[in-house]
Amino acid sequence: MSVEICPIGSSAQNISDTIPLGGNAWSSSPAGHIDSLGFTEWSDSSVRWDTWLRVSKPGQLHVWLRAAGLGHSTSVIKISMGDGAGHDATVSGDHLISYDAGVFKVTDTGYQCIHIKGISRTEVAFPLMTSIIVRGEPINGQTAFVPNNEGNFFYWGRRGPSVHLHYPVPEGEQAEWFYNEVTVPAGQDIEGSYFMACGFAQGYFGMQVNSPTERHILFSVWSPFETDDPASVPDSLRIRVLKKGESVHAQAFGNEGSGGQSYLNYMWKAGHSYKFLVHAQPAADRHTVFTAWFYAPEEGRWRLIASFSRPQTQSWLTNLHSFLENFEPEQGDHQRYVLFYHEWVRDTHGHWMALHKASFTVDNTGRKGYRMDYAGGIRDAAFYLQNDGFFNEYTIPGTWLERPAENKESQPDIDFTKLP
């Protein structure tokens, strides 16, 4: 990204866009507060706000700041792009007004970052800032940002696009077991990340970064009763916990569907490769039992996570997939990256089959074009997924990927009789 500061004046183009700060900005410090209105409750001058916009053309970009002060307060706000010195805007009075923040020369395409910083104030807090208005040649073409909060997209947009790999099973085969290996490279274990290894039509299994001191190995199965309120699920349609491993927590979950959730608090390490295994067993009473195991190289053994019984289900493992998501909006400006190695399924006759093809997809945040920092591909003979952080090169959704095929000798070496 390269930006030069120009003298304040009129830009050559009259096309303009309004970028709501509530869905497109991040604070450099927890002291900064962002809500659907924009920047509020802000008094710390050390806080810097970063607002992101993707452009497809270079040129002059005229910027205005939409803000309202407190009472008769006066504040000086600095607006800059890239590494430039920027321009100052003086915000006074309690009316919402557009303040001229200057003209900047954008010399390349892709994501551009507009920085906002408080310089001085006469009241206890800096002004409310709701949006950035931009005008000029760089937005006379395809742009990417969250334009409004319809569908709660300020939340989803700040989380960033989730990305997925879908693995087709050979036609006519029934997958009883699904195996995958996951490596998160050093520095990519960002808080709020879910690196999901073994997804299937009724659930998912992978590892998360929950806080600086907590990481989960998470296995969940959805109820066939669709609701976000676990308490409303009829007793006959509840997910049953049949067994769980040592130190594993199991409970109902809600918010994004309902079902059974289990997790092991395990401080897995970036740079290490972890193994995930899921099994499906249809039962005679129209239930299917889904079971998950986790293998950590630090321990050298398979751990049982949990076994769930799902009612009204007679199914082997279908719709096999992996995904990468960020579940913390405050972490949506940090890039994350993951590698998936050695995807295999074992059929009902005990035959292993390598899954070396996958289609790449992205969630609604990406499909709408609100965020375009998403990618998937092949690297080091593995599938990779990447999202967030406002990188410029993206993968077209629907792209088919193919890693090197594996021979029979590479199949997982698992003694099923010794699984806990």
Residue 413 placed within a domain:
yes
Residue 173 CA to residue 99 CA, distance in Å, equals 63
Residue 371 CA to residue 285 CA, distance in Å, equals 45
Question: Looking at the structure, do residues 362 and 394 belong to the same domain, yes or no?
Answer: yes
**The pLDDT of residue 347:** 97
**The pLDDT of residue 10:** 39
Question: Looking at the structure, do residues 245 and 383 belong to the same domain, yes or no?
Answer: yes
Residue 285 placed within a domain:
yes
Residue listed under structure tokens 């292993």: 352
Tokens found for residue 240: 């049953």
The CA–CA distances, whole Å, from 20 to 15, 58, 91, 145 equal: 17, 22, 18, 9
Residue 287 placed within a domain:
yes
Point out the domain boundary residue: 111, 145, 179.
145
- Show the DSSP H helices in 210-261 as ranges: none
Question: Looking at the structure, do residues 130 and 190 belong to the same domain, yes or no?
Answer: no
**The pLDDT of residue 4:** 36
Residue 154 placed within a domain:
no
Residue 393 CA to residue 139 CA, distance in Å, equals 18
**The pLDDT of residue 395:** 98
Question: Looking at the structure, do residues 183 and 135 belong to the same domain, yes or no?
Answer: no
List the CATH number of the domain containing 36: 2.60.120.260
Residue 363 placed within a domain:
yes
Question: Looking at the structure, do residues 111 and 223 belong to the same domain, yes or no?
Answer: no
**Other residues' Cβ atoms within 10 Å of the Cβ of residue 387:** 31
Question: Looking at the structure, do residues 398 and 302 belong to the same domain, yes or no?
Answer: yes
**The pLDDT of residue 208:** 98
Question: Looking at the structure, do residues 221 and 139 belong to the same domain, yes or no?
Answer: no
Contact 82, 2 (CB under 8 A): yes
Residue 182 placed within a domain:
yes
Question: Looking at the structure, do residues 165 and 138 belong to the same domain, yes or no?
Answer: no
**The pLDDT of residue 234:** 75
Residue 275 CA to residue 197 CA, distance in Å, equals 9
How does DSSP classify residue 417?
Answer: G
List the one residue out of 170, 377, 184, 368 whose CA is nearest residue 276: 184
Residue 305 placed within a domain:
yes
Residue 310 placed within a domain:
yes
Domain count, the chain: 2
Question: Looking at the structure, do residues 121 and 180 belong to the same domain, yes or no?
Answer: no
Contact 328, 191 (CB under 8 A): yes
Question: Looking at the structure, do residues 218 and 163 belong to the same domain, yes or no?
Answer: yes
The one-digit pLDDT tens for each residue of the chain (420 residues) are 333 333 333 334 467 899 999 999 999 887 778 999 999 878 888 999 999 999 999 999 999 999 998 888 899 999 999 777 789 999 998 889 999 999 999 999 999 999 999 999 998 889 999 999 999 999 998 999 999 999 999 999 999 999 999 999 999 999 999 999 999 999 999 999 999 999 999 999 999 999 999 999 999 998 876 755 666 667 777 888 999 999 999 876 555 557 789 999 999 999 999 999 999 999 988 899 999 999 999 999 999 999 999 998 999 999 999 999 999 999 999 999 999 999 999 999 999 999 999 999 999 999 999 999 999 999 999 999 999 999 999 999 999 999 998 887 799 999 999 999
Domain containing residue 370: 159-418
Question: Looking at the structure, do residues 184 and 102 belong to the same domain, yes or no?
Answer: no
**What SS3 string covers 135-195?**
EEHHHCCCCECCCCCHHHHHHHHHHCCCEEEECCCCCCCCEEEEEEEEECCCCCCCCCEEE
Question: Looking at the structure, do residues 246 and 307 belong to the same domain, yes or no?
Answer: yes
